[in-house]
Amino acid sequence: MSGRRVTIRPARRSEVATLAALEQRSFATDRLSARQYRRHVGSPSAVVLVAEGTGGAVLGSAVVFLRAASRVARLYSIAVDAAARGRGIGAALLDAAEEVARRRGRTVLRLEVRQDNPAAIALYEARGYRRIGARRGYYEDGADAWRYERALAGAGTRQ
């Protein structure tokens, strides 16, 4: 990571505006608002992770949804600040999201990705995600999604 240290940790309530701004910069449509982040940070059914760089800067984030009755966790958002991409931060966030889901007893992590997003598709496929289907017109602008999932090795054996 170019010698830079990055820590992945849970987001703080004080960071919701920063997270919404990162989301605005990272996605053209279907963006989480500050209000939605406020609801998810600290919710029992969601985990919001941030990648913190040296000096405390938020360089990336990931949002995982954990519905109570389901063994399937959902990666709802993952984004790395444009200036910090290509240094392994996205992969570190994905690792951490999987670990959180595994620790919470989920056996599968599932996600949607725009079919026109080769960087994210490459990230998921490099990490062993399997394409399980498509959703036509899934995004607000009508773009299609691929659906991917990965079984979480060792999941379900810990509380």
Ligand X SMILES: CC(C)(COP(=O)(O)OP(=O)(O)OC[C@H]1O[C@@H](n2cnc3c(N)ncnc32)[C@H](O)[C@@H]1OP(=O)(O)O)[C@@H](O)C(=O)NCCC(=O)NCCS
Residue 89 lies near ligand X (rule: CB under 6 A): yes
Q: Which residue is nearest to ligand X (CB)?
A: 90
Applying CB under 6 A, which of residues 85, 104, 115, 144 lies at the interface with ligand X?
A: 85
Decide: helix, strand or coil at residue 137.
coil
Quote the CA–CA distance of 75 and 70 in Å, as a whole number.
14
* Residue 12, both tokens: 């703080």
In this structure, the number of other CB atoms found within 10 A of the CB of residue 138 comes to 17
- Nearer Cβ to ligand X (42/134): 134
Residue 106 lies near ligand X (rule: CB under 6 A): no
| Interaction residues for ligand X, span 121-140 (CB under 6 A) | 122-123, 126
Applying CB under 6 A, which of residues 34, 57, 91, 108 lies at the interface with ligand X?
A: 91
In terms of Cα–Cα distance, which of 88, 94, 22 is closest to 58? 22
What's the closest the beta carbon of residue 109 comes to ligand X, in angstroms? Answer: 12
The amino acid occupying position 147 is R
- Nearer Cβ to ligand X (105/118): 118
Quote the CA–CA distance of 1 and 17 in Å, as a whole number.
26
Applying CB under 6 A, which of residues 74, 87, 110, 150 lies at the interface with ligand X?
A: 87
Answer whether 16's CB lies under 8 Å from 53's CB.
no
Residue 105 lies near ligand X (rule: CB under 6 A): no
Quote the CA–CA distance of 74 and 126 in Å, as a whole number.
18
What's the closest the beta carbon of residue 159 comes to ligand X, in angstroms? Answer: 30
Q: Which residues here bind ligand X, judged by CB under 6 A?
A: 26-27, 78-80, 85-91, 113, 117-120, 122-123, 126
